[in-house]
Amino acid sequence: MPRPPKPRCVRFRPHATYFKPQGIPLCFLEEVVLDIDELEAVRLCDLKNLDQIEAAKKIKVSQSTLQRILSSGRQKIAQALILGKAIKIVK
């Protein structure tokens, strides 16, 4: 049985929680679900240019856990941009 996830410290709440390609009705789109901790990891590492050790301390996880969260978030964002899917941010 896996360990329950450790609570993560997310200090950012987005105003918009849904993004989609312009000109395509939502009913025709597949969506990618981006967790709030994945968004926070991308924000800290890519937008604020923190290294993974500093970002991991802010989220209160280990560096290896942050790497997995960041990799998953980046993959979902890339998939949505390249394949034209909607992005839904969940808390």
Among residues 66, 38, 42, 33, the alpha carbon closest in space to that of 52 is found at: 66
Could you tell me if residue 43 is inside a domain?
yes
Mean pLDDT of 22-28: 91
Structural domain contains residue 6: no
Give residue 73's pLDDT. Answer: 97
Residue 62 is predicted with a pLDDT of 93
In terms of Cβ atoms closer than 10 Å to its own Cβ (0-12, 13-18, 19+), residue 70 is buried
Task: Please state whether beta strands 86-90 and 31-35 pair in parallel, antiparallel, or not at all (unpaired).
Answer: parallel
Q: What pLDDT does 83 receive? A: 95
The answer as to whether 2 is a domain residue is no
Residue 26 lies in a domain: no
Q: Is there a domain that residue 19 lies in?
A: no
| Angle subtended by helix axes 63-83 and 52-59, to nearest 10 | 100
Question: Does some domain include residue 52?
Answer: yes
Angle at 78 between CA 27 and CA 21, to 5 degrees: 30
pLDDT tens-digit series, residues 33-88: 999 999 999 999 999 999 999 999 999 999 999 999 999 999 999 999 999 999 99
